Chain A
């Protein structure tokens, strides 16, 4: 399953709930304001590091760039994907859950 989060974890609890309710082996993609959740110094960093043990966490590069977030500021292990990889991810996964 591909889980998509597009809201900042500092505004809404979508990322937190997504991390709690996604299974091992699933992929989590952060887009739009969701990318703020991947900041290494942020409150969610610990939970994301735990998730990285059995899930993939990606952020959409163009959304990072737009927000002035340097890749060096991200939690280690979080992957940066472009639009093509985003599409590939969505096609590969049979099901998608968008945490609005």
Chain B
């Protein structure tokens, strides 16, 4: 499968996750989000950037429970809870945010 954005084609898996991490860009993330009807705000970016850093350090995309806990530790309890994260990413915080971050589907997410 592939994703067509601004006249360029990007290879993805069957669920729309980028096949090549290196294809990722800020613009591509915003375009992927727009396709889902979602405008990325600073709050969204905080999570997307966090995931990219997490992946860079651990070479995996964290499961939702792990993400929630880690966000809480980094950004405070008012953000480290599933209610807040589901409001930002209604399709599932780990799944949806990982997609915009250009990461594979989270480990521990089926």
A touches B (Cβ under 8 A): no
Q: Residues on B close to A: CB < 8 A?
A: none
